Each structure stands twice: as structure tokens, then as C-alpha cells.
Amino acid sequence: MIIRSKAPLRLGLAGGGTDVAPFSDLFGGAILNATISMYAIAAIEPRSDGKIILNSLDRHERYEFDSIPELPVNGKLDLHKGIYNRLIRDYDLKPLSFEISTYVDAPPGSGLGSSSTLVVAILGAFAEWLRLPLGEYDLAHLAYEIERVDLKMAGGKQDQYAATFGGVNFMEFFKDDKVIVNPLRIMDKYLDELAHNLVLYHTETSRISSVIIEEQRKNVLAGNEKSLEAMNKLKEQSVMMKEALLKGELDKIGEILDFGWKFKKNMASGITNPMLDEMYNAAKEHGASGGKVSGAGGGGFMFFYCPGNTRSAVIEALKKFGGQTKRYDFTTKGLRSWTI
């Protein structure tokens, strides 16, 4: 028997960073994101020999343990261990014996929510295997708690909900970890055109998002006016993006992205750097009307809105920086799991 699951990665189109506490607790956050055809995948094979095997295929890491109630959290596949430990504790389970294999279509630090999406995929596989009574909100919130509370990994709340629900969503964040996911019904032709015009580009760099997020958090607590203004403008951006997508006013999207990028850079000092600025300027010089760094910033993926027939010129202009353009489609489904 094999239990499989997959959860989609996401593009954060607007409002990025406003889902991070303490801003979301104090002022409320709003984000618009959309899932894409890149995935985190998990497979569980039950065992009967009293062993636990954790296997990350993309990271080339494999660890074996005796079947025990709590696995050691020590920097080696801690997401896998944290999920196992929490489920044993919350559901009063006896130690399990299994092998779990995982794979993510984007590297860590990519800005596509890969870590949180992996947590959702692993949780989905365990929920399928153990028949856990977890609805979409329950599973996304549990994924958030494991990553942010149990493992103390810095970050926001959008990624877990995007991976679980899938599709294009306008998300609202409130104090006490309250989240409301509003699915948007976008016409297929608008999504197809958006996928064609949004060039997704991997800079071949990564970043440690926790450093950027920690500075962002300190700026909020210190009442930094420049940073707070930026976050409030990004909340406005999420509403602007929602209206443009629902109305099919796609030519506004580049301008909305450009509006957000100008303010996002004021949230924390590490969000951009000279190399990323050079890439952004080159894309605009060759026809892009706007774009941003995906996720917290500092590296990973960037994406640019290329109206009309400017896509090819922008891709050609980006080649000199040594990165790679990634093909994708938007997806309408979130977490899926099944048993073979």
C-alpha cells in the first residue's frame, strides 16, 4: 500500500508580507495569491519492522530511526519530524512505522512557499493514511502551527492556506490567527492570458527569508512609519489586484505589480539588492510593465507582467543574468491525496 499526496506551490500576486505577525494581528492583512502547476509531493509506505525512514528525494537526504514517540528536531528534515511529533501528540497515537518520501518542484528559498507547501503535502498524506478528521481550514491551520509555533520557523500564514485550498484566492488575516479564504472565480481566458503574460524567472539564487521577516517584524513593533506605510499600501494593492482579475482588466496588472514593488522594498532592507534591481530594470526596459520578487524577497524567483507580445523580448533580456525561465499554468485544485 502506498499513500500519496500533492499540494501546489503559489505565486503571491499582491499584499505579500501583510500576513506576517505582528502586522496581521494589529492591523489585519490581505493577500491575493494563485497556485501554479509546481508541487510538493509526499508518499507514505507503511512498514512492519518498527522502523521510521525519512527520505527527501530532492535534497538527497535519508534518515532511519527506530519507531519512537518523538523524533529529534536537529536541523535534519525537521519539517518531516515536526509533523510526525505533532500528530503522535495531538491524536494520542502509538509510535508508527513507515517510510515517507518527499519531493518539491522548487528549491528551498525560492519564494514560492515550498516549505509550507511541503508541510501541507506531508500532513495530507498522514491524514489520508490515518483517516484524520481534518477539514481544509483545520489542516492549513495545523500546518501553520507546526511550522511557525512548534518548529519556530519565521514566516506568514498565506502559504499553508494557498497549498490546501488551491486556485486564486483573496485571503484576509486577523488577530488570533483567524484567516478567511475567499475563492475568486476568474474566467479561464483571463487565467490563460495571465499565465502567458506573467514570466516566472528563477534568479539561480536563494535567500534566508527568516532574516528579512525578522527585520519586518521589528519594524512593525518599533512603529517604523516607512515600513508601516508600505504594508498598508500592499493591502490596498491586494484589493486592486482582485478587482483587475475579476473584471478581466489584465493590462492593469503590471502597473499594480509595479506599485506594490515600489512599496515592498520599504518593508525591510534585504528585500532587494543591486542584482535584483538590475534584473527588474532590464525586464521593464524590454516591455514588462511591472513585476516583483516572489515571497519575502532577497532572491529566488521573480515574475514580470509582459503585456501584448513582449514576453519573448523580456525572456531574451533576462538570459544575460544566468537564470532560468520556468513554464507553468495556474491550477484550480489544492491539496489532493489518495491510496494505492
What string of H, E and C letters represents the secondary structure of the chain? CCEEEEEEEEEEEECCCCCCCCHHHHHCEEEEEEEEEEEEEEEEEECCCCEEEEEECCCCEEEEEECCCCCCCCCCCHHHHHHHHHHHHHCCCCCCCEEEEEEECCCCCCCCCHHHHHHHHHHHHHHHHHCCCCCHHHHHHHHHHHHHHHCCCCCCCHHHHHHHHCCEEEEEECHHHCEEEEECCCCHHHHHHHHHHEEEEECCCCCCHHHHHHHHHHHHHCCCHHHHHHHHHHHHHHHHHHHHHHHCCHHHHHHHHHHHHHHHCCCCCCCCCHHHHHHHHHHHHCCCCEEEECCCCCCCEEEEECCCCCHHHHHHHHHHHCCEEECCCECCCCCEEEEC
- Among the listed residues 92, 159, 177, 192, the single catalytic one is 159
Contacts for 210-214 with beta carbons within 8 Å, 24 or more apart?
210/153, 210/154, 210/155, 211/270, 211/298, 212/268, 212/270, 212/271, 212/296, 212/297, 212/298, 213/20, 213/154, 213/155, 213/156, 213/268, 213/296, 214/154
Give the N- to C-terminal CA distance of the chain in Å, as an integer.
6
Active site residue 177: no
Which residue in the block uniquely carries the three cell numbers 500533492?
A: 6
Residues with a catalytic annotation lie at 159
